[in-house]
Each structure stands twice: as C-alpha cells, then as structure tokens.
Amino acid sequence: MSMRTMMRRVLATVVAVTCLATGARADNAAWSEPAKPFHVVGNIYYVGTKGLSAYLIASGRQAILLDGTLKSTASQVEDNIVALGFKLSDVKIIVTSHAHYDHVAGVAQIKRDSGARLYALSADRWALENGLHDGETTYRRGTFPPVKVDHVLADGDVVRLGDVSMKATLTPGHTPGCTTWSTSVTEAGRALDVVFPCSVTVAGNRLFGNKRYPGIVADFDKSFDRLSAMKADVVLPAHPEFADVLGRARRRDAGETDAFVDPDLLGKIVVQSRAAFKKELARQKARQ
C-alpha cells in the first residue's frame, strides 16, 4: 500500500470518529465488522475487529490485552481470545492506548469477564473512570461505560507479566493520557522492536481556547518529537489501517515473510501526521 493510499484511509477514519461522536451515521462499518484473530509477530496476536485494533501480548498461558474496542464489539474480542486457545481468565492485565470510546468502551465488560486488572496513565484516569472523553472538542464528547483503573502508571513505567515487558510512553494531545506502548519480541530468531503508537490526529479537538486542556498544542508538538525519536521495526496502531495491519497479515500468509517489518513506517506516519496537525492548527487559528 502506498503512503498516499494509507493517508486517505487515515482521513476516512478521522471523519468516522467525528461522525460517531456527534451521533451521526459513520461510513466506517469496519469498526464493528468481525475479523478472524491472527498471529502478528513474536508473542503478539491481533484480536480486534476489521476497523479497530486490540492486541493480545502473551507470556506463556497468561496475557496482556491492549484496548477493548467498542461496547458492542467487546464480545468479539473475547471470542477472538478464546479462538486462539486462551481462556478469558488468562488475560491478567488490560492496558489502553487512549480514553476514547472506540478503543475503551469494551474494556469494562472484558475486565469484568476476565478478572483482569486495568493499568493506565494518570492523565487518562479521569476519563476512564467517568466514562467521558476529556478535553473540549468540536463535537459532543463521546461516552462509554466507566471502568476502574486498578494501577495508575507514570510516563516511562514498564508493565511486566512473566517474560513480557511493555513500556508506557506518554504521547499526549489526542487525549491527555494518550499512551504509546513498546516492547521487544523475537520472530524467526530475530529481535524486533514493536511500537503501538497512540494517535496523533487532531480528530475534532479544540486547539485554541480549550479550557479543559489548555496545553494541548504543546502536547501534540512534544508527542511528534517523542514518536520521531522512537525505533520501530513493527508498527501496530489502534486503527489497523494506519499501518495496513490486516493487509500485511494477508501478505505474510501469502508468503511475504517480513510483511510486518517496516522500520521506516513510524517516521512516515509522524511526518504526515505533523503536516496534517499544522494545517488544522492554521485553520482553527484563522477561525478565532
């Protein structure tokens, strides 16, 4: 997939986020469309839908789950976990990319059904526990089932389960606690750095006069710099089309062994996202 095609898909996703938040009909039906779970690399598995990612990071028969998708698709995530041969009770820890309903609305159900503990950065704790997007937006803030955070993390903390270590890097802007997760895996005898980048799209956030989130512009700038400095052999975002995750799985299954390995991808995504941010910043400034 070309970068131009990928960015068109990214734009379609941003539009869908805004439409759903306002209660309008969204074009992205893929968010609710079932996807067969599959192995990505190392000990990482995809258990989300066709349009919303959820990742299972396994340590033996225990696992960490990253994101829970929509409330209406939480059972799909659970079924995908079981289809891989795990029990729901094998999920010991749930972590999140960011507190927007399309990624965390299913977390309350999965947490309850699995007995897992929820770990999250402090800056997203209020939103998670109140079931409400934080910050001021150009649309009605989305709601989702509130969920208790069992363990509050700080920037740079490492979550460990067995032989799995996942580092939480604060990359705020999209939400105050937007979290980029990173880990290392071994695939075919080769060590790979895996990054699960949090979104750096504006997606309806007010960049000026945002009383609930006055530092939003500075946070976006900091996050672009932080992501630019990260090394990623494999990029696994919260919306799979940002990195053509499902397409890469098909190519891998067709014989392209290194389909998921793309060391330049994260940098390209950051460059495109920063350019889109600057354009939106200028647009909102002109409307003040």
Q: Give the pLDDT confidence score for residue 135 in this predicted structure.
A: 86
Q: Are 200 and 238 in contact (CB under 8 A)?
A: no
Checking if the pLDDT of 177 tops 50, the result is: yes
The band of 138, judged by pLDDT with boundaries at 50, 70 and 90, is confident
Structure-block tokens of residue 234:
């494999």
Give 60-88 pLDDT, tens digit per residue: 999 999 999 999 999 999 999 999 999 99
Q: Is the model's pTM score more than 0.85?
A: yes
Checking if the pLDDT of 150 tops 50, the result is: yes
Of the two residues 138 and 113, the one the predictor is more confident about is: 113
The band of 43, judged by pLDDT with boundaries at 50, 70 and 90, is very high
Checking if the pLDDT of 18 tops 50, the result is: no
Q: Comparing C-alpha atoms, which of 100, 94, 49 is closest to residue 72?
A: 49
Q: Give the other-Cβ count within 10 Å of 257's Cβ.
A: 10
Average confidence (pLDDT) over 110-128: 98
Q: How far apart are CA 50 and CA 10, in angstroms?
A: 14
The band of 28, judged by pLDDT with boundaries at 50, 70 and 90, is confident
- When the pLDDT of each residue in the chain is averaged and rounded to a whole number, the result is 92
Give 192-222 pLDDT, tens digit per residue: 999 999 999 999 999 999 999 999 999 999 9
Q: Residue 226: which CATH number?
A: 3.60.15.10
Checking if the pLDDT of 12 tops 50, the result is: no
Q: Give the pLDDT confidence score for residue 16 in this predicted structure.
A: 42
- Per DSSP bridges, beta strands 91-95 and 62-66 are parallel
pLDDT above 90 covers a percentage of the chain that reads 86
Q: How many residues are given for the chain? A: 288
DSSP H helical ranges for 46-162: 74-83, 101-104, 107-114, 125-130
Q: Give the pLDDT confidence score for residue 23 in this predicted structure.
A: 34
Q: Give the pLDDT confidence score for residue 111 in this predicted structure.
A: 98
Q: Give the pLDDT confidence score for residue 142 in this predicted structure.
A: 80
Average confidence (pLDDT) over 31-51: 98
Average confidence (pLDDT) over 254-258: 97
At residue 214's C-alpha, the angle toward residues 279 and 196, to 5°, is 65
Q: Give the pLDDT confidence score for residue 40 in this predicted structure.
A: 98
Checking if the pLDDT of 22 tops 50, the result is: no
Q: How far apart are CA 279 and CA 240, in angstroms?
A: 24
Surface-to-core class of residue 66, CB atoms within 10 Å of its CB (0-12 exposed, 13-18 middle, 19+ buried): buried
Q: Could you give the 3-state DSSP secondary structure of residue 251? A: helix
Q: Give the pLDDT confidence score for residue 144 in this predicted structure.
A: 96
Q: At what angle do helices 3-21 and 265-286 cross, to 10 degrees?
A: 50
Please tell me the total count of domains within the chain: 1
| Structural domain harbouring 228 | 3-286
